[in-house]
Amino acid sequence: MADKLQFELVSPERLLLAEPVEMVVVPGSEGDFGVLKGHAPMISTVRPGVVEVHDEGTVRERIFVAGGFAEVTGERCTVLTAEASPIKDLDRGAIESDLKGLVESFNRGVEHADAERIELERRIAVAEAKLAALG
């Protein structure tokens, strides 16, 4: 375990994942970044996208996150997110239906307050990122 990094995925409700891994690839706001043990300390915002957990030279797990923050130290990578789902649990039909409704609501939205418009834009971006993650 000396060559492993401690990875933690945390939502407001609970600790979703905490285990030693070889590498984690995080969808940072400025681009994806990989984290290995010994990485330079940093903090980054996370865009909606896929966290890839690598172990034994392969991608062991792919988890969709709806954005958040990542904190990296030489020994640990912690991703804080409001929403996380294993890619295998995403339902393309449900996501497409949700996206259609969100876009329709946004397009009708001349009466939306700024906060409502911003929230709709965020939810549309998350739905689009989920579809992109499904390929």
Q: What pLDDT, in 10s, does the model give residues 1-15?
A: 568 999 999 988 889
Tokens standing for residue 116: 């409502």
Q: What pLDDT, in 10s, does the model give residues 37-73?
A: 999 999 999 999 999 999 988 999 999 999 999 999 9
Range of the domain at 104: 91-134
| Structural domains of the chain, count | 2
Asked if residue 99 and residue 83 are part of one domain, the reply reads: no
What proportion of the chain, given as a percentage, has pLDDT over 70?
A: 96
Question: Whole-model pTM?
Answer: 0.87
SS3 of 11-45: CCCCEEEEEEECEEEEEECCEEEEEECCCCCEEEE
CA 8 to the chain's CA centroid? 13
Tokens standing for residue 46: 């996370």
Asked if residue 125 and residue 82 are part of one domain, the reply reads: no
Q: Pairing state of beta strands 58-72 and 15-21?
A: unpaired
Question: Band of the pLDDT at 117, cuts 50, 70, 90?
Answer: confident
The closest of 10, 42, 7, 4 to 25, measured between CA atoms, is: 7
Please tell me which residue, 106 or 94, carries the higher pLDDT value. 94
Asked if residue 60 and residue 22 are part of one domain, the reply reads: yes
Residue 75 DSSP label: S
